[in-house]
Amino acid sequence: MRIKRVYEWLPAWGQNLCCSFYGRRLQHGRYGAGYAQIENTAYAADEWSCDQLRAFQLKHLRVIIDYASQHVPYYRDLFRSLGLTSNSIGQLEDIRAIPPLTKETVQTRLGEFVSDEIATLNTRTIATSGTTGTGLRFPITLDVERWQWAVLWRFRRRFGMDNATWYAHLFGRSIVPLSRRHPPFWRTNRPGKQVFFSAYHMKDDNLPYYVRELNRRRPLWIQGYPSLLTILAHYILESGDRLQYVPEFVATSSETLLQNQKEAIENAFGTPCRQWYGQNEAVAGISECPEGRLHVDEDLGYVEFLRNPNGTYSLVATGFHNLAFPLIRYETGDVVRLPAAGAECPCGFGGRVVTSIDGRLEDYILRSDGQRIEGMGYIFDGVTTVREAQLIQKRVDQVLIQIVPGQGFARSDKSRIEAAAQRLMGETTKLELSFVKDIKRTKNGKLRLVVSELDAGKVSPLL
């Protein structure tokens, strides 16, 4: 807290120096000893066949199970009770003998998941953000962090980018003091080739400065939360204050990318919008290919898709690389949709194909019949005139839909949203639409699509 106060007191050039100093420290951890070998393996995996990927997964699955059975109290007891060892895993599907692991179990028995060799492992502590309550703090090894970054750079390399290319980053940290009323609303990390744009100053009066700075620096690509990129995209489309160059591509992460957001971003920036999915727990990754298909990053963890009654699939995953805090058959809380059986991608990558990712950064909507509804972003499909939206449920029979309308928002758009929402929630649910100027974000700058005040509608506090 004291360091933060000092940082906020500094002039902009001093804050840039701090960002660069911190960026240098991060690079040392992410790209230090052993990274080059991990990167070579990750990059090579894009050329592996399905059989090669499965062989890699089986090898690492056995390693993590063997290690956990010896050094992690929770698994030592569990595997003993199941009579299971790494030799029990003759094929990937044999892991189903282990019961799925819930987030609640991890939170309530946190210490039992830490390796008894933690003092000898090279680790650091990270935390999940926690959208409905207290987040989770746990150790990760530097190896798993380097694997994450190698996989992320593999995704970016597919579109011609490497860590020598400058890029703009719109994300939720308060990199610019909230009290600041005048530009610059961005800070620079020179070692990381990043220009950080503040999420907390993206008001209509300030957005011209954002566009002007992008035009001045011309970063080759742009990374950000979909909700933040959409704010900037709608400003560009509605004001006519256009970019004077075309970035190579725009990448999103950390939030679910909705179809209407993707369309707005691509129309505004004139370039493809690609997405990458991962989580702090580092058990799974999904990344887009140049053909526009989403592929599982099979070398980061073993991903299972468990079918839900509504035809979606819950993502359960086992991370390969974090010996400090292994998570086996971990219920991520995220939901995906899968293509028809046998569907292949012409890109040739071996990772399994996913149709869409419904990362649950939001709560559930509860129907009066007790059913929990997720993936509410679909009520805005085909509506490109909504800047932001949020659903708030205070009672089972009533839902408030707050909308920040964009240019051209019409009565037909309102009717379309209401009809789609009513179909999902049921006729007994009363809908109330409210038009607002902006929507409150989480402390990490994220926009939550669904906020429930009902206990049964809240997601786990680990999310």
Mean pLDDT of 353-369: 76
Q: What is the pLDDT of residues 17-32, one digit of tens each?
A: 999 999 999 898 899 8
- 35-150+279-358: CATH, from 3.30.1280.10, 3.20.20.70, 3.40.50.150, 3.40.50.12780: 3.40.50.12780
pLDDT on residue 132:
31
Would you say the C-alpha torsion 431, 436, 440, 445 has a positive or negative sign?
Answer: positive
391: pLDDT confidence band, cut at 50, 70 and 90? very high
pLDDT on residue 423:
81
Intrachain domains 2-30+160-271 and 35-150+279-358 with the same fold: yes
- Residue 401: how many other CB atoms lie within 10 Å: 20
| DSSP-assigned letters across all residues of 13-55 | HHHHHHHHHHHHHHHHHHSSTTHHHHHHHHHHHTT--HHHHHH
CB-CB contact of 223 with 56 (8 Å): no
Tell me which of 73 and 131 has the higher pLDDT. 73
How far, in Å, CA of 362 to CA of 382, rounded?
21
The one-letter code for the residue type at 287 is S
Task: Tokens 């950080």: give the residue.
Answer: 196
Q: To the nearest whole number, what is the mean pLDDT of the chain? A: 88
CATH topology of domain 365-457: GMP Synthetase; Chain A, domain 3 (3.30.300)
Tokens of 273: 């919008």
Task: State the alpha helices, DSSP H only, in 72-160.
Answer: 73-82, 103-108, 142-157
Global pTM? Answer: 0.81
Lowest-pLDDT range of 106-115, 282-291, 444-453 = 444-453
Does the structural domain 2-30+160-271 have CATH classification 3.30.70? no
Q: What is the pLDDT of residues 210-238, one digit of tens each?
A: 999 999 999 999 999 888 898 899 999 99
Tokens of 271: 């370039």
- Cβ burial of 277 (10 Å; 0-12, 13-18, 19+) is buried
Lowest-pLDDT range of 204-218, 244-258, 366-380, 387-401 = 366-380
pLDDT on residue 359:
62
Task: State the alpha helices, DSSP H only, in 127-244.
Answer: 142-157, 207-217, 226-239
C-alpha to C-alpha distances, 389 to 261, 320, 447, nearest whole angstrom: 11, 37, 9
Q: Parse the chain into domains and list their residue ranges.
A: 2-30+160-271, 35-150+279-358, 365-457
Q: What is the pLDDT of residues 282-298, one digit of tens each?
A: 999 999 999 999 999 99
